A = this chain, B = another copy of it.
Amino acid sequence: MKAVGIIVEYNPFHNGHAFHLEASRKVSNADIVIAVMSGNFLQRGEPALVSKWYRTKMALLNGVDLVFELPYGFAVQKAETFANGAVSILDAVGCDYLCFGSESGDIDSFYRTIHYLNDEHENYENNIKQYMNKGVSYPKALALSYQQLPNSENFLDLSKPNNILGFHYIKAIIGQNSSIKPVTVARKNANYHDENFTSETIASATSIRKAIFSDEKKIKISQYVPEPTKKLLDEYMNHYGMYHNWENYWDYLQFRLIQASNEELQEIYEVEEGLENRLKAAAIQSTSFQEFMQKVKTKRYTWTRLQRLCVHILTNAQKIEMTKFTEKASYLRLLGMTTLGRDYLNQMKKHFRLPLVSKLSSFKEKEITLDITAARIYAMGLGGIQRQEMLKQEFIEPPIYIKK
């Protein structure tokens, strides 16, 4: 069986994702689709709208055959590390292709850009250093330095978020000597960060989340998401009584910032010297996460990086643990499968290049601890019986199975 891999967050699964899924199958001519998906906390440093279990169901009901969890240590990370972890998992489960959406839509432009940057290596690094010294954030420094290189306009536009991700996917494939063949499809309509609806059927996940949390109950998201998503979102609300957002975790973040010692905060991943005082002072002065972020924000740190840092404070993700996650994943956490996915698994798992984890209670690797803690901290956003249920679930839940 030929397998195409995709790297997703599905927060939530929408028509744009369905388009990408179909295109991935078509351009690769693969028999099955394998997704690596972020867990309960996402690359942008946010809790997912609904749990990874519900997002796994969305994936399976919408055409994915196997879902593996991208470990926390890769998921809540900058694009480069995120890409390394995701590619290493797709490689370990024997994917033939990786298909990603991009603004460019042309795979050759990615290779040309990578080679070009190899050649311009020294200039590029120097430019980055200069921008960083001026107090510019790292991603911005990258983009500006790139733009300054001669003829860079002939290569990939690296100011576009999906081009950046794709660029890192291919660098990871090269770096890991993987035999995966990357293909890309042009993203349709909506831009990644669009907050407003601009098309009849395609909208960004950002705009869909905005509508979900909006007070205007009349805003309909049905036209932008497939039926299973709609059904699962309703089911989640019925069962858990809420969708998750940062404000559900603000009390905990504030509490921890007030009680933690400076030494403890300095051990948290991404907390740089002196930032702990700034965080503590802002925590005392703020009544919401949004207010807190506005107070903490500086030119040096992007909003996304600060949000990731806040997630790390919640999950107590320390430098000593997180720096183990840079190159490759060390286990495969199976979240769900269809019948076809199960067949693939049975046929192929003896060739998998990493240990397969179907149930946490029978797996003892230290590195998975962060995933468990993250899942439990996510559950803390809920109240009462629902919280308790999710706290216990993480350890005993078998992978989701969808017969089809």
Contacts and interface: CB of A to CB of B under 8 A. Distances in A.
Interface of A: 251-252, 254-256, 258-261, 264, 284-285, 287, 314-316, 318, 373, 376-377, 380, 384-385, 387-388, 391-392
Contact of A251 (B251, B284, B385, B391): B251
25 contacts: A251-B251, A251-B252, A251-B380, A252-B252, A252-B255, A254-B380, A255-B255, A255-B377, A255-B380, A256-B256, A258-B373, A258-B376, A258-B377, A258-B380, A259-B314, A259-B316, A259-B373, A259-B376, A260-B316, A261-B316, A261-B318, A264-B264, A284-B376, A284-B392, A287-B384
Nearest to A387: B287
A377 B284 CA distance: 11
A74 B251 CA distance: 28
Contacts of A285: 388, 392
A63 to B, nearest CB: 35
Contacts of A315: 259
A250 to B, nearest CB: 11
A346 B349 CA distance: 82
A30 B318 CA distance: 57
Nearest to A249: B255
A315 to B, nearest CB: 6
A377 B251 CA distance: 11
* Residue from the set A255, A284, A315 with the largest chain B CB neighbour count within 10 Å: A255
Nearest to A283: B391
A318 B373 CA distance: 23
A315 B258 CA distance: 9
A120 to B, nearest CB: 43
Contacts of A376: 258-259, 284
Given A285-B388, A287-B384, 9 more contacts: A251-B251, A252-B252, A254-B380, A255-B255, A256-B256, A260-B316, A284-B392, A287-B385, A287-B387
Interface pairs A-B: 6 shortest CB-CB: A259-B316, A252-B255, A258-B376, A284-B391, A287-B388, A255-B380
Nearest to A384: B287
Nearest to A313: B259
Contacts of A380: 251, 254-255, 258
Nearest to A287: B388
A389 to B, nearest CB: 10
Contacts of A255: 252, 255-256, 377, 380
Contacts of A387: 287
A381 to B, nearest CB: 10
A137 to B, nearest CB: 27
A314 B258 CA distance: 10
Contacts of A314: 259
Contacts of A391: 258, 284
* Residue from the set A284, A285, A315, A318 with the largest chain B CB neighbour count within 10 Å: A284
Nearest to A376: B258
A261 B260 CA distance: 13
A377 B373 CA distance: 23
A256 B254 CA distance: 12
Contacts of A259: 256, 314-316, 373, 376-377
A370 to B, nearest CB: 11
A101 B254 CA distance: 41
A387 B258 CA distance: 13
A384 B251 CA distance: 10
A248 to B, nearest CB: 11
Contacts of A373: 258-259
